[in-house]
Structures are given as structure tokens and as C-alpha cells.
Amino acid sequence: MTPVEMHGGLSVSGLKIVDKNGAPYQLKGMSMFWSQWSGQYWNADVVNWMVEDFEMNFVRAAMGVDPDGGYLQSPGTEKAKLVAVVEACIAAGIYVMIDWHDHNAHQHADAAEAFFDEMASTYGHLPNVLFETFNEPLQDVNWNGDLKPYHERMNGVIRKHSQNIITMGTRSWSQEVDEACSNPVSGDNLMYTIHFYAQIHKGELRSKGDTAMGMGCPIFISEWGTGFDFLDLGSASEWLSWADQHMLSNANWGVYDKAGEENALLVSGASGQGGWSESQLTQSGRWVRDYLRGSPGAPSPGGSGGCCKFGSDCGDCGDCVQVVKTMKKVRVPCHRNVYKNYTIKVPRQVTTQEPQTVVYTDMVTKQEQQAYQCTKTETRMRNDQQTYQVPVQKTTMVQVVKKVPKTIYVDVTTTVPKQTTVMETRTKTVQIPYSVQVPVTKYRTVTKQVPVQKSKTVMKPVTKTVYDTQQRTRCEPKVTMVEREVPVFNVVNKCNTVGPCRPGTDCGQQGGGGGFNPGNGGQGFNPGSGGNGGQGWRAAHRSCCSSTLRGRSSLDWTSIRVCILALLYEEHRRSKGVALAFCDPSVDSQWCQAPYAS
């Protein structure tokens, strides 16, 4: 059965994640790297390989949002990568977290709201899916004023479609979980995010987690790394022991192959289709895979309760010998930490309100007199000479002969006036009207919108990258020769005979197998069925002891002494966390644990 078939939908009860049966359940898996920078690994082949080879139950799909090439610039491309991983996890029957991987999500709240509305409506009904609404808020934001309102807004969108678990990022790269828990977000199935990188985060950050849990807030380690500038597997072991103790779900960062980054799972150029060989996994990758597989650590030594006689298959497993310890002064190499302070510049985004002069164009209504040309008809008078005829009465004197009575009539010629009418031509000047088209310039009032350049001073948010100077401490191993008292062990034989094991002794009933690797029922240096399980000595010296004692028919105290010394010496080294030196912790308090913690 797949993890989801076995455990079903998850919920939060108290401080723990519980499955469909109400039993506490821990998610362990891998976080994908920023999708825009490691897209070659965002596919079903990689997911299926990690499920098979890493034996994990969880993937965090960290979809890159803000930097160049992320979701804000290429939403279709990045969402397609996310969907491919989410659906591959669903098909494989494991759990998957949809992560809005952003350092300034509160500034992109509208885009985040639309994204989570789509994702929750599409996948929120499935038991496989969890949501992470804000990867790592920066230091300069405020929980009460910025982050809590953002989370409440995103939670409201998701809750319209799904009641699945939501984990919420906290201030300062998701480290201030105790601060968030002092003013928690209301709701069910809500958790608070904490991130750690083993080299730079130690017990102080775990104390914040303890404080948050003490206040009743469940936490989720959605991102952790095995180091930072260099691997610190000792610190990573402490962190994971703490996480496992509290059953805190976690995802390792991350699935990528960036050369020079110790946290990377893969060496540069590793296949984008899974199927990775040992050589394609980094040291961190192999270590994390062992953790996810649940590979057991070095076993602890068992006790002794009787005398085992040699000649039996169990070997030296009881009080057949007595080890006498004496102290001897020798010069031995002592491994110390030398802590050196160095300064780095850490970029962060700061948004401030700054005055800026803005030039803009405004439309103004304006009235003006506009000239235009037209024509008009005018009547004018001109002088004209006219010739006309008028009747004129003229009197002329004409001679007429008339009869005048006389005694004698005689013709008398006389002049008399005679009226006649004659036509006379005259000329006069008269005024004659005529029409003419005259061009005229007229004016009219016109109202129009006129663009006017204006300027004003406004306060605008300006985002700048500033660099904070941070003091950090680097641990550099240093070997010095010191004088120490080391134990010298002498073996004294307490058994006089050679025979089978006595009942009730540590070696148990004699089984198959031989030497230090007994068969069924054996409880010697490597007990358990077929040599597996139970309490035994470290495997590092099994071959030594087996090859030393196997096949010997008689006691060889030199061989026995060498073997016991090797075993005791190894146990002393392991318990002290040192390499080859018995340095006194009270004198040499600073140790490089990382190389030997695993």
C-alpha cells in the first residue's frame, strides 16, 4: 500500500500531524529547488525514483515566484512544472506540498490569492495535498502588520475549497516561530514553518521551536539543509534527533545539482530522469537518503553475564577474561575547533516611501476666438452714362402766307411762331446698383480640450537592495599534539577450560554461523537471527574480530587481546565523538563533531 492509501487525509491534532485513524504521522522527504533554476528535475521520473530509492513519503514542490524567470514573469511555464510534480506525487500515492516559494509574498498577494484559489479548487479535495502560503519572509517585515493579515487572506481562499493542512511562513527566513505563536492565526489544521541549516543554526533556534510548541503551536520543518558553507552532519544529526523526538515533519533542501553548494542532493550534471548512482549523489545526498530510508546508526555494545568457553561458535562473549585498565602518558593528536570570525554581506530588499516628481499630461478646457474666411454679397452703385431721347417743344418762326382782308387781297408774307415737337438726344449720369461677392474674415468662439504638461510630487514605494553586514563564525579543524593519559588494557584469563557456552551467559544458545557472527539465537558480539538485529558491537571491527578468531581451535590470547582492545578503543572514540585522540573535554571544550557524528 502507498503512504496515502495507508494513512489517508492528514490533519493537525495538538502539536502533531495525525492520519485518518488519529495516529501521529511524520512526513519525511525532499524539497524541490527553485523551479525556474532546476526545471530539469521537475518531472514524474524523478519523483518516482525518489519514492522508490529514498523510500520517502513526501515532496515539497517549491515553485519559484519572484526572482527572474519565476511565476510572476512566466506563470504558465512555472505552473506547468508544479502541476507535473503534484500529479506525479498523487499518482505515486505520496504527500505533496504546494509551496508559493517567495521572499516577498505579501507584496504579491493578489497573484498568490488567484494561484491558491486555482490550486485549492483543483487539488484541495485530495488527501495527498498540503499548502505552504509563504516560503521565507525576510527580516524587515512585521508579523502582526504584514504576515498575519497575509496568511489570513490566503487561508480564507484555500478554505473555500479545502480543509487540508496549511503551513505558514514566519519572519526572518521562517525562524521566528515563537513570535508568530504569541499572536497566532485562528483556524484548524494550521501549522507554523521553521527552517534550519545545520552549520549556522544550533540550539538557540531549536529553543524557539520548543517555545512555540510550549505555547501550543504545531510546527513544520518544510526546509532544512545539512550545512551552509560546508557540511555539518553532527549538527544535522542533532536537529533530526530533535525533529524525530517531536515527530516534526520535514523536507530536505534540495533536489538540485549546483556545483559548490554543499546542501545540493546531486553532483553537477546528474541525470534529470532519476536513476542516480552513488557517484551522482553528493556526500549530503547519500547522508540524507540514509536518513529517509531509516538506516540504523551504529549499534551499542551489549553487556556480559557469564563465562563463555572457547571452542564454541559464540566466541569471547562473557567474563572469560578480565580487562585490567592502567593509564599511560602519551602524546596524541588532538582535534580541536578553531573558530574564526568573518564578515559577509547579506542582501535584503527594503521598500521605502520616497518623493518623486511625476510629469503628466492633463486635458484643460479652453475657449478661444477662431478666425475663418467667408464671402458676402454687397450692393454697390456705379456711375453710368446713359443716352436717352426726350421730346422737346420748339418754337420756330416760319414764314407763312395768309390772306389778309383788304380791300384788295394780296398775299402778305409774315413770320409766325410754329410749335413743333422734335426728339432730342441727351446724355446723363445715373447711379446703377450692382452685386459683388466680397471676402470677409469673421471670428467665432471655440471650446476645446488642450493637453497641458503638469508636474507634481508624490510618495512612491521604492524597493532597493541593501546589504547587511553579518558576523559569522567558521569552524576550522586543527590538529595539535597534546600529552594525555590514555588507557592501556591488559587481558587476564579467567577460564581454564575450553567448551560450549554455559546457559544464561551472553552468548546464548549456540546456533549456526560461527565466530562473532552467530546464527539463530546467538547473542554474542553480533546477535540476532542470521546475524541481524539485537545488541552488538560496531560493525567496523566485526571483520577484524571474525578474521582474528574464526577457525582457531585453541586459545590465542594475543589475538583475543588485540580484538578486545580494538573494540573498547572504538567504543571510547564513538562515545567521545573524537577521531583518534582521547582529548579531555573539560580541557579541550571545542570539538569538531561533524566528521565523526555519522
Query: Which CATH number is 286's domain given?
Result: 3.20.20.80
pLDDT of residue 258: 87
- CA 140 from chain center: how many Å? 17
| Same structural domain, 336 and 223 | no
User: CA-CA distance, 594 to 598, in Å (whole number)?
Assistant: 8
Greater pLDDT, 311 or 131: 131
Greater pLDDT, 2 or 425: 2
pLDDT in tens, 521-545: 333 333 333 333 333 333 333 333 4
State the virtual CA torsion across 183, 349, 221, 475 in degrees, nearest 10.
-120
| Same structural domain, 269 and 147 | yes
pTM over 0.75: no
| Same structural domain, 146 and 267 | yes
pLDDT of residue 571: 57
| Same structural domain, 258 and 329 | no
In-domain check, residue 207: yes
| Same structural domain, 224 and 328 | no
- The answer on pLDDT for 554 being more than 50 is no
Greater pLDDT, 258 or 220: 220
Residue 224 banded pLDDT, cuts 50, 70, 90: very high
pLDDT of residue 530: 33
- The answer on pLDDT for 548 being more than 80 is no
- The answer on pLDDT for 161 being more than 90 is yes
| Same structural domain, 336 and 193 | no
Out of 78, 132, 136, 179, the active site residue is 136
pLDDT of residue 596: 31
pLDDT of residue 459: 87
pLDDT in tens, 298-320: 323 333 333 333 333 333 333 44
- The answer on pLDDT for 271 being more than 90 is yes
User: CA-CA distance, 345 to 468, in Å (whole number)?
Assistant: 5
pLDDT in tens, 478-510: 666 767 665 665 555 544 444 443 333 333 333
Greater pLDDT, 420 or 451: 451
**What number of other Cβ atoms are within 10 A of residue 334's Cβ?**
22
pLDDT of residue 568: 61
Mean predicted lDDT score pLDDT of the chain:
78
Catalytic annotation present for 136: yes
In-domain check, residue 362: no
| Same structural domain, 116 and 209 | yes
Is residue 385 classed as helix, strand or coil in its secondary structure? strand
- The answer on pLDDT for 263 being more than 80 is yes
In-domain check, residue 480: yes
In-domain check, residue 96: yes
**What number of other Cβ atoms are within 10 A of residue 119's Cβ?**
23
Q: Quick one: cell of 108?
A: 504579491
In-domain check, residue 553: yes
pLDDT in tens, 358-393: 888 888 888 888 888 888 888 888 887 778 787 877
Closest CA to 594 of 261, 259, 202, 154: 202
Instruction: Give percent above pLDDT 90 in the chain.
Output: 46
- The answer on pLDDT for 462 being more than 50 is yes
In-domain check, residue 423: no
In-domain check, residue 525: yes
Q: End-to-end CA distance of the chain, in Å?
A: 32
Domain end call among 256, 273, 293? 293
User: CA-CA distance, 187 to 167, in Å (whole number)?
Assistant: 12
| Same structural domain, 327 and 288 | no
Greater pLDDT, 557 or 4: 4
- The answer on pLDDT for 347 being more than 80 is yes
| Same structural domain, 281 and 337 | no
Instruction: Look at the chain and report how many structural domains it folds into.
Output: 2
- The answer on pLDDT for 117 being more than 50 is yes
| Same structural domain, 236 and 334 | no
Residue 272 banded pLDDT, cuts 50, 70, 90: very high
Greater pLDDT, 361 or 197: 197
Greater pLDDT, 471 or 558: 471
Sign of CA dihedral 537, 543, 545, 549: positive
**CA dist list (Å): 481 to 327, 329, 332, 584:** 18, 13, 5, 13
Out of 132, 176, 179, 223, the active site residue is 223
Greater pLDDT, 27 or 430: 27
| Same structural domain, 273 and 337 | no
Question: How does DSSP classify residue 495?
Answer: -
In-domain check, residue 7: yes
Of the spans 66-70, 81-85, 226-230, which averages the highest pLDDT?
A: 81-85
Using the structure block, give the residue that is written with the C-alpha cell 544535522: 236
What is the rounded average pLDDT of the residues 561-569? 58
| Same structural domain, 189 and 329 | no
Q: What domain range includes position 572? A: 321-341+474-597
Sign of CA dihedral 536, 538, 543, 549: negative
Question: How does DSSP classify residue 140?
Answer: T
